[in-house]
DNA sequence: GATGAATGAGGCTTCATTCAT
DNA sequence: CATGAATGAAGCCTCATTCAT
């Protein structure tokens, strides 16, 4: 497990353990052991366990946002852009299920409580992308005339639930299903 | 706070505290204080804190299921039954936000991990009601031809997200919006 | 060691250990062991180790002040009152050497830093008594015309040093010596 | 801060930090940083932190003793010699307040416990000078007929207390006051 | 039945010291 | 010689649980 980058080792170990056992079930000592370092070493990289947890969330989010924004078809029609966003998110999480499960835990914990709305695509960048889509969609009378927050829930709420089920093995999201489900998300918000 | 039913007092205190501060932030001593009993007393009603937490979940679920099943229009058309289910759930949680928040916490914790699928309407009874709707809907070519688990996520995932936003105050679900959103949920799954 | 009063046991154990080994040399675990209780028990009586230390100081000071003020001859001449104060303090500390050593440690530590001047007789009550003596003494041209803080150091600085030497066994302050030394303290400040 | 003499840099950094924050508040890492060296480097000059602390005390004492002994008027009358000693000490500490505060901390700590009597002027050299004064003073019936240790406390105890108050800013010892206070010290011991 | 003082395992964190580079 | 990342013992504190009253 011990690689060259101690900091990454620690974060990976924390990710694994927290996903598996929750924040409580991941004592610093165990994270350290899994990372192949001494407990004290963790404190050379993170001022506290809380900071490690927060940092882990921040970096994951960064990565996700970057992936989703990359090659975002900003010039294409609304529907296409919306489907792109949802599809890429699904793909990202299918590829990185631990990331999904970590984010879920984070938001449903005292840590994430202060984050409220900035969920998932909440980073200003994405938020804007998404809200732009909703705004334009309402303007163009393509989407239902509902508050944007509701449009968000209608589409992304489904996505999150789908991801959870996929990860838990209740369903297997292959490319065909991804296509169908993302379109179903669209159906929920389109006029 | 001290009423005649000590057991209920304890559960209510636990509910309040856990919703407010999470499982970590609800030491047995504090629950006891809030319930107006001594810490030791809790152990006369619940063998352990874990059991109290699990029990609280179980009873809440029971209550929710009972409410939703009551006057369920089993003889009415599919769409109507579906809308009824979602609407009643939304109403229940809007009336009892603590219950919603507790359930959410529970599922996103080591306690709920083993529960996986049986979320929300997961109790056999409801599960069946819901799955019946999906099954018939597919048969009658009213619903999209997708695995039932996916239909579940598409509709109920939205609902959960809506509830969270309502509770956090991002949106206010009045009767008009409830109508529109439940119908949007239907849009997501209908063919 | 275990008596009826757990709180007192803890304070006594802390006093003994801290006097013997300093604040560093008195881990909570050891204090607990010496007091005949579990480590956690200490936290039922004191919110933190720091609080225990501060509280110990506060109570000792209270006791000392009470003893010294009792039967203080407020109607007698200045010199007599001054000698009374110093003599009683010496007697108190000779009888309770641990108290003296604890106070010394306390003042020479981050804990006591904020206390600065309110040393030893610094409690408002005593402070006033002492300062009254100095003030009247200067007025009546009985004492040297120096700032009161200096008169304080000239007399009480000696006293503290004497106490330390007595406790360390370099000298033995019997009644005869107490009389002579308190008078020497007076000589230092009298005109 | 980095000068040519690494060893001195370390001692100076330790002095500053310990005076400011106490022994606890001066981790080796911080001393190293302040000295402009790596933590490990300190161990090339001092076998342990304890040794550094002890050494710092030793060297300060050496310096103080040297200063006080220099131009000591060994041929002048008793009173003059005594006043010289006290005055020079006061001046030294007024000029080097950090040294005073370090010594105070040192003596009131487990480190200094074993040093007992050899306080301040305790180095054999000074000790002798001082004790000579006391001895001769008693012989010549100039000083009170008290144990030498008591004469020491009566005069030097005041001095220490004065220094502390000066450093804490309660009083300002200018030359005039130094003269008066040293004479008051003499009053305390003179017959 | 109820109480709440006591317990002590276990969690987070600090920091003097070592040692490979 | 110097570095500073790594170590891990040891410290403080929390809290679920027990049990004598």
Domain spans of chain D, in order of start: 74-189
Q: Which of residues 33-72 of C touch strand E (CB under 7 A)?
A: 36-41, 43-45
Nucleotides of F under 7 A from a protein CB: 1-20
CA distances from B1 to B57, B98, B121, C39, C182 (A): 21, 17, 31, 33, 63
Nearest nucleotide, CA A47 to C1': E13
Mean pLDDT (whole number) for B148-162:
93
C-alpha triplet D129, D135, D141: angle, nearest 5°: 135
Query: Is any atom of nucleic acid chain E found less than 7 Å from the CB of residue D39?
Result: yes
Cα C10 to the center of its chain, rounded Å: 20
Interface check D187 vs C, CB under 8 A: yes
Give residue-wise pLDDT tens across range C149-175.
999 999 999 999 999 999 988 899 999
Q: What is the mean pLDDT of chain C?
A: 90
Looking at residue C4, what is its pLDDT?
62
For chain B positions 52-91, those within 8 Å of chain A (CB to CB) are none
Q: Please identify which residue in the block is written with the tokens 């914990």.
A: A109
Q: DSSP code of A157?
A: I
pTM value? 0.89
d(CA C123, CA C64): 10
Mean pLDDT (whole number) for D37-59:
96
Looking at residue D84, what is its pLDDT?
96
**pLDDT beyond 50 at B81:** yes
Nearest nucleotide, CA C43 to C1': F13
Looking at residue C3, what is its pLDDT?
54
Neighbouring residues of A9: CB distance < 8 A, sequence distance ≥ 6: A1, A2, A3, A35, A36, A37
d(CA D85, CA D79): 10
Phi and psi at residue A190, in whole multiples of 5°? -70, 150
Looking at residue C1, what is its pLDDT?
41
Pick A110 or B147 by higher pLDDT: B147
Interface check D161 vs C, CB under 8 A: yes
- Model confidence at B170, in pLDDT bands (50, 70, 90)? confident
**pLDDT beyond 70 at B87:** yes
Residue B153 to residue A161, Cβ atoms within 8 A: yes
Grouping H, G, I as helix, E, B as strand and the rest as coil, residue B46 is: coil
Of A25-29, B126-130, C38-42, D35-39, the poorest mean pLDDT is in: B126-130
The closest of A94, A61, A109 to A168, measured between CA atoms, is: A94
**pLDDT beyond 60 at C44:** yes
Nucleotides of E under 7 A from a protein CB: 1-20
Residue B21 to residue A109, Cβ atoms within 8 A: no
Residues facing residue A190 across a β-bridge = A143
Q: How many CB atoms lie within 10 A of CB A87?
A: 19
Q: Which residues in chain D touch residue C144, judged by CB atoms under 8 angstroms apart?
A: 180, 184
Looking at residue A114, what is its pLDDT?
61
Looking at residue D46, what is its pLDDT?
97
d(CA B138, CA D27): 71
Grouping H, G, I as helix, E, B as strand and the rest as coil, residue D118 is: coil
- Model confidence at D107, in pLDDT bands (50, 70, 90)? confident
Query: Is any atom of nucleic acid chain E found less than 7 Å from the CB of residue B109?
Result: no
d(CA C172, CA C178): 9
Give residue-wise pLDDT tens across range D116-140.
545 554 555 666 788 889 999 999 9
Helices D6-21 & D97-107 angle (0-180, nearest 10): 70
Burial of D115 (0-12, 13-18, 19+ CB in 10 A): middle
- Model confidence at C129, in pLDDT bands (50, 70, 90)? confident
Q: Please identify which residue in the block is written with the tokens 């000066």.
A: D166
Neighbouring residues of C111: CB distance < 8 A, sequence distance ≥ 6: C23, C50, C53, C54, C57
Residue stretches of chain A with pLDDT short of 70: 1-4, 113-127
Looking at residue A173, what is its pLDDT?
96
Q: Which residues in chain B touch residue A150, judged by CB atoms under 8 angstroms apart?
A: 162, 165, 171, 177, 181
């Amino acid at each position: 497990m011990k690689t060259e980058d101690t900091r990454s080792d620690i974060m990976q170990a924390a990710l694994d353990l927290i996903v598996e056992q929750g924040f409580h079930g991941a004592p610093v000592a165990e994270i350290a052991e899994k990372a192949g370092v001494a407990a004290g070493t963790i404190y050379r990289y993170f001022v506290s366990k809380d900071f490690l947890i927060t940092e882990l969330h921040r970096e994951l989010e960064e990565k996700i946002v970057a992936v989703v924004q990359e090659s975002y078809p900003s010039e294409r029609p609304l529907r296409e852009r919306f489907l792109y966003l949802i599809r890429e998110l699904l793909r990202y999480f299918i590829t990185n299920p631990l990331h999904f499960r970590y984010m879920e835990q984070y938001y449903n914990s005292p840590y994430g409580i202060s984050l409220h709305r900035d969920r998932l695509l909440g980073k200003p960048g994405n938020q804007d992308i998404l809200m732009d889509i909703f705004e334009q969609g309402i303007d163009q009378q393509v989407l239902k005339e509902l508050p944007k927050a509701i449009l968000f829930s209608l589409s992304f709420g489904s996505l999150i639930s789908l991801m959870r089920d996929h990860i838990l093995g209740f369903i297997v999201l292959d490319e065909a299903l991804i296509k169908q489900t993302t379109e179903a998300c669209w159906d929920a918000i389109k006029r």
